Structure 1
Amino acid sequence: MNNKIFKHKVKYLAAVIFAASAMGCNATETPQSTSKSSKKTTELYDESWESLSKVNHKPDWFQDAKLGIYTHWGPTSTANIGMKQAAGWYGLDMYMDKVYDWKTGEVRLFGESKESRPSYAYQHHVKTHGHPSEFGFKDIIKSFNPDKFDAKEWADLFKKSGAKFAGPVAIHHDNYAMWDSEVTRWNSKATTGKDIVGELSKALRERDLKVITSFHHAFTWVYFANAYNFDATAETADLYTDQHDLTDFKPNKKFHDRWFAKLKEVIDNYQPDVIWFDWWVEFLDEEYRKKFVAYYYNKAKEWDKEVVINYKNTSFPSSTGILDYERGRPNKQKDEFWMTDTSPGAWFYYENAKFVEPNEIVDILIDIVSKNGLMLLNVPPNPDGSIPQEMHDMLGKLGDWLNINGEGIYGTRPWTTFGEGPTRIRHGGHKIEKQKIEYNDKDIRFTKKGDDTVYAFVMDKPQGDIVIQSLSSNLTVLPGKIKKIEMLGSNQTVKWQRNEQGLVIDQPSSIPSDFAVGYKITLLHEEEVGIGGEDPGTNGNGD
């Protein structure tokens, strides 16, 4: 055979083999993984739950983080200017000239006369902007002006709060992308000149924070269904989705393709460490869900880092992501790591918003961590992109508390029991924060590090001696004797005794914070003896 032809065929064959090995998610190895000197595995996940269940879906860095921040902000914030009540679903509510149940499509009737009425958002919109057939949500988008947005200022504040990761709501139900997109024209770069996701991601990483992007656009199919009775047309279907019946909850293929394309674009361009999903993903075709999970985790292999997927309800199998409770948490310790997303007030900006006190946020964080969870805290910026002063103050105080007590929060794992005391959540789950939960100094929460350190948090300023019944001398929950007890953030000597009543700690003369008080309990770890079969105290020969 001619030598040139032979070489050509060898090169061709090599190219074919390389292309075959690189195609799709069904590939098992790339050429590098066959190298004996390569220690890094490049085996890819295929688009099956069986394959994807092998991923490390709860990496240590995420379990160690305990606190993250995300931001509900965008055109909906602008729409809420002048509103006297929160309207996080403004884009759905503004098209209700008659309030209807979006789950059934039935018009709701009010009062003894059983008459219909328009929604508050619809009334506000007509009064402020005009009829939604003439000024729709597409026009609200044009009004969004984030001229006070400063990514570095945001990142500094989030760092100060003690959060270990942060990021924006990348796209909410309103289908507006907060990044520089080629997939959709309805994006922040095109309409405002700002790449919110890009600028904030860069600023966060410069401060050693990991990046979360959240996606809520699966619900867009339902959210804008009624807009076709007003300003939506075929020309704006890329915003409002294709026209369909109110109760047709099955998105078409075009919607599925766009849903995935937006995710892929953010993954490719910004490499988020965490992708968080709101509900309704569970109603999308399973093949698209598997396609996303495989794509994201395979890209993480390419980046050589561990990433996280957060989900609600039944969107994904528990072996592929971490379950999220919205404004809620369990009332008991969970074996499987979990998280909750919550907000100190409304999700989006609205005038005269009320925020909970920092003490409540600290207590919720401690309770979450003690039960093997993580808190994702929402920060609702003003429409112009500035952060409300109340949030500056709250995040500053949260950060101050974590500077003192973070040792007992970050990097910890749940102890034998999450806590003790009279204050308990009724029926843990989603949105249990509607319950008014106020912890007192009899409520204790626990965390641990290794087998020789337990942390006990007294959830309010001690009004007397602290009695921790779970650590009484009658119980054997501790793996060793107590060696030392210290108050986190304080050099004062901690006086204590352990008896049948419990571990009794003298009331402190002062505490380093106005919020929960943390104690570090160091144990004297006793090594086992006789493991080799020898009799302790002999010459080791059993004599």
Structure 2
Amino acid sequence: MKKIYLTVLVFCLYFVAHAQQAHYQSQRYQAPSDTKVQAKLSQWGDKKFGLFMHWGIYSIPGIVESWSICSEDASWIPRDSTKNYEDYKRWYFNLNKQFNPVNFDPSIWASYAKKAGMQYVVFTTKHHDGFAMFDTKQSNYKVTASDVPFATHPKANIAKEVFDAFRKEGFMIGAYFSKPDWHSEYYWWPRYATADRNNNYDIRLHPQRWQQFKQYTYNQIQELMSDYGSIDILWLDGGWVRPKSTINEEVLSWGAPIPAWDQDINMPAIAQMARAKQPGLIMVDRTVHGEYENYQTPEQKIPEKPLDYPWETCMTMGDAWGYVPNDKYKSTNTLVHLLVDIVAKGGNFLLDVGPKPDGTFPEPALQRLTEMGQWMDVNKEAIYASKPIVPYKTNNVCFTQGKNGSVYALYLLDEGKVADATISIQAPPKMPKKVTLLGVKQAVKWKQKGDVLEVSLPASAKMLQHALVLRMD
């Protein structure tokens, strides 16, 4: 018995050591070599602001997306404690029979997103629970299945309708796709209990079953790449489904069990197929740092300083990714400040909204999108296609540089506050010859005091909210 314990301990230490080594090797960003991907990535990087949407059967009861059917014990995975686990899973998986968003009209979503100043969209075609929001031929657990009330609706193939509506408004199109599929018998085999987020059988003992899952995944992605028009981004979630050799400190920090087998789904084959059908496709295999993670995705946070590779903060407008009744939405002031901070550090902001069960956006979300659009209408030249410039941010002032060479100082205002008659810009990137305040016609008076730019604002500046933008030429 002691020998067994010693063997297990040695294996664990060996595994952790190699996982740490993999972390340091894979943490470096690997730029794509495909010139079409490079061009698409540059185009995406200029968009700066995108809409993320989590929508599925979990929106009906208004609970956390998918995770409540995962039996890991974590405070952020709530579950009805009055039901035993198997009964709960059965209840959850049967929510598909209630999915009937009779007010679904993606053209309205696209209209609000465009008014907000957003320029790309990422939509959940399938989350971890396996319910496909598109007409997949690989599974009958989908929005177009006969047991789903919405299946008879002319807009039943939801992902197609969403992509078409946003494409008409000039958006870049991103397809979110979960690599794990907790409804698939090839991932969670009904023969065994589902202990955690990982597949629930030893792949080394059942390689053919895993091969079936790999083919199932490949086929679903092939459908999305073939039948849904031009796709710009394949946004892959579920980073624990990966080659074992790529497990790093980031994965270990999740606290999830690490299986002894390899959950490799053959990303090279998927990428080759996907890019043959969608030339220049941006691949985002989240947290699996390497050639198939063309940009990285800090979640619910902003890096402290600029990163030297393409990145995107994905963040919820409220507290939840999907629709939850009485969610606490961030204020418009907070959202504008987040956008400014992210862009000043060279990133993109992917802001998530969870549609309601009936297919409409919650009223607070519509209000935030409208108000952000009002700010963007005035100040978008400091956001789109901008680049970070040292010192990036000083106190409550962020800086960006436009392609025309102009430098912008974005002066963040506190919630509900207006600017003082005189404001100071500490150590701007350069002292200007001309200063313009976006959104007002009156001339701006300014003077230099050492490394400080003192700006006297016209009275009309008191009409501006959230952040003042000074263009310095």
TM-score for both structures, normalised by structure 1: 0.68
Indicate which of 378, 400, 404 corresponds to 2:352: 378
Task: Tell me the distance in 2 between the aligned counterparts of 1:52 and 1:457.
Answer: 32
Please list, as runs of the form range in 1=range in 2, the aligned pairs for 1:145-294 lying within 5 A after superposition. 145-190=100-145, 191=148, 192-193=150-151, 194-216=156-178, 218-221=179-182, 237=185, 240-241=188-189, 243-244=191-192, 246=195, 249=199, 252-270=210-228, 271-280=230-239, 283-284=242-243, 285-286=263-264, 288-294=266-272
* 1:330 aligns to 2:303 (yes or no): yes
Which residue of structure 1 lines up, in the alignment, with residue 52 of structure 2?
70
Give how far 1:356 is off. 1.0
For residue 454 of structure 2, give the secondary structure of its aligned residue in structure 1: strand
Partner Cα separation in structure 1 for residue 436 and residue 46 of structure 2 = 22
User: Higher relative contact order at CA 8 Å, sep ≥6: structure 1 or structure 2?
Assistant: 2
Q: Deviations over 1:89-128 (max 9, x none)?
A: 45425xx5xxx438xxxxx9xxxxxxxxxx85223668xx
**What is the distance in 1 between the residues matched to 2:308 and 2:404?**
17
How far did residue 210 of structure 1 move?
2.0
- Work out whether residues 453 and 521 of structure 1, in 8 Å CA contact, stay in contact via their aligned partners in 2: yes
Question: Structure 1: any 5+ residue segments left out of the alignment?
Answer: 1-48, 81-85, 103-107, 109-118, 225-235, 422-442, 472-476, 523-543
Post-superposition shift, 1:212?
1.4
- The answer as to 2:450 corresponding to 1:500 is yes
Secondary structure of 1:520's counterpart equals: strand
Q: Which has the larger radius of gyration?
A: 1
Alpha-carbon distance in 2 for matches of 1:364, 1:121? 32
* 2:409 paired residue number: 456
Contact 1:343 1:379 in 2 (8 A): yes
Provide the residue aligned with 1:12 in structure 2. none
Give the equivalent residue in structure 2 for 1:310: 284
Q: Per the alignment, in what secondary structure is the counterpart of residue 267 of structure 1?
A: helix
Once the two structures are superposed, what CA deviation does each residue of 1:222-254 show, in whole Å capped at 9, x if it has no partner? xx6xxxxxxxxxxx7268555456266576222
Q: Which one-letter code corresponds to 2:169 in the other structure?
A: R
RMSD: 2.8
Q: Secondary structure at the match of 2:128?
A: coil
Distance 1:503 1:419, change over 3 A: same
Q: What are structure 2's unaligned runs of at least 5 residues? A: 1-28, 204-209, 244-262
- Check whether the contact 2:446–2:453 (CA below 8 A) recurs between aligned residues: yes
State the alpha-carbon separation in 2 of the partners of residues 389 and 343 from structure 1.
15
One-letter amino acid of the structure 1 residue matched with residue 235 of structure 2: W
Conserved? CA contact 1:201–1:211, under 8 Å: yes
Between the aligned partners of 1:339 and 1:90, the Cα distance in structure 2 is 23
For 1:347, the equivalent position in structure 2 comes to 321
State the secondary structure of the residue aligned to 1:322: coil
Does the 8 Å contact 1:311/1:324 carry over to 2? Answer: no
Of the candidates 355, 362, 373, which is equivalent to residue 336 of structure 2? 362
Distance 1:68 1:521 in 2: 27
In structure 2, the CA distance between the partners of 1:366 and 1:124, relative to structure 1 (3 Å rule), is farther
SS at match of 1:277: strand
Report whether the alignment pairs 1:482 with 2:456.
no
CA change 1:71–1:286 in 2 (3 A) is: same
In the TM superposition, what whole-angstrom CA distance separates every residue of 1:347-371 from its partner, at most 9, and x where no partner exists?
1112221111011111000000000
CA drift at 1:267: 0.8
Hey, what does 1:88 align to over in structure 2? Answer: 65
Give the letter for the 2:316 counterpart: S
How far apart, in 1, do the equivalents of 2:180 and 2:138 lie? 18
Conserved? CA contact 1:70–1:212, under 8 Å: no
Question: C-alpha distance in 1, partners of 2:86/2:224?
Answer: 35
CA contact (8 A) 2:283 2:292 kept: no
Shift of the alpha carbon at 1:324?
A: 0.5
Q: Equivalents in 2 of 1:240, 1:138: separation in Å?
A: 13
1:311 CA displacement: 3.7
Give 1:470's aligned residue.
427
Q: Distance in 2 between matches of 1:291 and 1:328?
A: 32
- In structure 1, what is the equivalent of residue 383 of structure 2? 409
Taking every aligned residue pair, what percent have the same amino acid on both sides? 24
Residue number in structure 2 paired with 1:228: none
Offset from partner CA, 1:330-358 (integer Å, 9 cap, x none): 10112212101111111111222111101
Task: Work out the CA distance in 1 between the residues paired with 2:336 and 2:220.
Answer: 35
User: Could you say if the C-alpha distance between residues 288 and 389 of structure 1 is closer, same or farther in structure 2, counting changes exceeding 3 Å?
Assistant: same
SS at match of 1:417: strand
The one-character-per-residue Cα deviations of 1:263-309 (angstroms, maximum 9, x if unpaired) are: 111011113211212232552555611122222223233xxxx4322
1:299 counterpart letter in structure 2:
K
Whole-angstrom distance in 1 between the partners of 2:296 and 2:447 = 40
